[in-house]
Structure 1
Amino acid sequence: MTVNRAISIFAGFMIMASLALAHFSGQINLGQMSWLWLTFFVGANLFQMGFTGFCPAAKIMKALGMKEATSACGTNSSGKCC
């Protein structure tokens, strides 16, 4: 597992956990449709992307012509910034 995947799993878990804690403490009601479900969807997507490597947003952005960095710091194979 890479650091990027571990961070995605951790971030997704924390987003979903914070929504669950707010719901069960009575601060928010996830039983009704609200924009908080978008937040849950983002957290769930981050969480699953950490395990599977599949990210729908990345697929869409690639289809729109955006380039993918060759490393985590955004440098190419020669070590120079893209």
Structure 2
Amino acid sequence: MNVNQALRLVAGIMILVSLLLTYYVHGNWVFFTIFIAANLIQSAFTQWCPMMTILRKLGLQD
């Protein structure tokens, strides 16, 4: 698995978790979903994502 595949996997899991928390725990968890979306949008323009840096340090290849 490379960095891009892992990034998509992590983003998808985090969105699903945040939506489940919003539904089952408290409605304010929707702000976590918004944070994830905003991070994905900024990474599309800047070509930099904090999670990609973390994944590279964990040893995943580009």
- TM (normalized to structure 1)? 0.41
Residue number in structure 2 paired with 1:80: none
1:1-80 correspondence runs (5 A)? 3-25=2-24, 27-29=25-27, 35-42=31-38, 45=40, 55-58=44-47
CA distance in 2, matches of 1:13, 1:40: 10
CA contact (8 A) 1:12 1:42 kept: no
Higher share of residues assigned helix? 2
Unaligned runs of 5+ in 2: 49-55, 58-62
CA contact (8 A) 1:22 1:28 kept: yes
Unaligned runs of 5+ in 1: 47-53, 62-71, 74-82
Q: Which has the higher contact order (CA 8 A, sep 6+)?
A: 2
Q: RMSD between aligned alpha carbons?
A: 3.3
